[in-house]
Structure 1
Amino acid sequence: MNKHKRHEILSRLQAQNPKPETELHYNSPFELLIAVLLSAQATDVSVNKATAKLYPVANTPETLLELGVDGVKSYIKTIGLFNSKAENVIKTCRILVEQHQSQVPENREALEALPGVGRKTANVVLNTAFGWPTIAVDTHIFRLSNRSKFATGKNVDEVENKLLKNVPKEFKLDVHHWFILHGRYICTARKPRCGACLIEDLCEFKDKTSD
């Protein structure tokens, strides 16, 4: 995969979707942070269903703290790993109140210090809420990057580093969203829809399908 192919891939994805957005529903950096924290090993659809009921009741660190762990659980029990996620939500809210004036910090180290927030979640928040050119590598991005040979790596860190190195500056802000959406709906895990793919001729995947 050379730089000319990569540039053309990104140009086509940009032309198809000039202003991509996350499919998680949120109205503030805090709502986004909690939604991303809840989305680990869960679908965005399941998270949105839960937060649609939770956020009208509690959408700030203080109001979530008032709900408590059991209160949060009652809203997110349809999401996988809801017990540990509820604990992390409450712990995170407490830290935000006590250490960050109830605001989501625009700082990688501070974000990654929050319970349940790893590098991927921090990258999503920094990119989507604050406009940083970070690239969060989830399962969709990892699969698409390796399958297409756009950025190969044995783990998410290797893929992230290669993407940061090989994605031109003008595409860095949006590539995270383009790749997630493409991996979610076109370059799917079990059987990629190569016949419906706008970058099929540029992709270096050997076992392409006709669908």
Structure 2
Amino acid sequence: MNRQKRTAIFHRLKTANPAPRTELCFRTPFELLIAVILSAQATDRSVNKATERLFAVADTPGAMWALGEPRLKEYIQTIGLFNTKARNIIECCRILLERHQGLVPNNRHDLEALPGVGRKTANVVLNTAFGQPTLAVDTHILRVANRTGLARGHTPRQVEDKLTRWIPKEYLQDAHHWLILHGRYVCTARKPRCAACVIYDLCEFEDKAAYARN
């Protein structure tokens, strides 16, 4: 896929959704960090349901730390891997309080040093909370990038590096949200909705015509 086609793809995605946003509910960088940690192997809807109650009683590292691991589990027990996530979140709060004055760091090195925070989580926080042009590759973006031909790769890091290098700079800030939403609602895993796709003619998916007829 050449630069001209990539530019046209993102122009159309922007036209269809000029101001894309994460579907996780948050008010502060800390709330976003916690929500993203909880979202691993869970739906945004299930996370939002849990954090609505959780953030009402603990919306800062100090309050979360004071809540403690056992009580935290009560708020997030409907979310997968909640035991591990609770342990990571409490330890994360301790580090934020002891090393960062209770603030979420705005750099990759310090973010990835936090328990439960890998490259993907750090990219989401850097992009959404701090406005940095990072791109977090989840299963949706991995699928969309490979299927459409935007950037083919076997691992999230391979796809991330290619997308970051190839996406025109004017679209890079919002590219994560456009691609994840496209993968979640249009370019779905089992039955992509090719007939409703705004980039149908630009996509390089070999079987798109068959799905467009269904």
Shared fold, TM over 0.5: yes
Is residue 180 of structure 1 aligned with residue 173 of structure 2?
A: no
**Match in the other structure for 1:105:** 105
2:119 and 2:176 map into 1 onto residues whose CA distance is 14
Kindly, what percent of the aligned residue pairs are identical? 64
Runs of 4+ off more than 6 Å: none
TM-score by length of 2: 0.98
Aligned letter for 2:38? L
Give 1:207 shift.
1.1
Is residue 34 of structure 1 aligned with residue 34 of structure 2?
A: yes
Q: Work out the number of aligned pairs and report it.
A: 211
Give 1:192 shift.
0.4
**Match in the other structure for 1:86:** 86
Aligned letter for 2:180? I
**Match in the other structure for 2:95:** 95
2:189 and 2:48 map into 1 onto residues whose CA distance is 22
**Match in the other structure for 2:165:** 165
1:55 counterpart SS class: helix
1:197 and 1:96 map into 2 onto residues whose CA distance is 43
Gaps of 5+ in 2: none
2:84 and 2:39 map into 1 onto residues whose CA distance is 13
Q: Deviations over 1:112-136 (max 9, x none)?
A: 0000000000000000000000000
**Match in the other structure for 1:150:** 150
TM-score by length of 1: 0.99
Q: Deviations over 1:18-37 (max 9, x none)?
A: 11110000000000000000
Give 1:67 shift.
1.0
1:107 and 1:204 map into 2 onto residues whose CA distance is 35
Let me know the Cα RMSD of the aligned residues.
Answer: 0.6
2:145 counterpart SS class: helix
**Match in the other structure for 2:2:** 2
**Match in the other structure for 1:12:** 12
2:4 and 2:128 map into 1 onto residues whose CA distance is 27
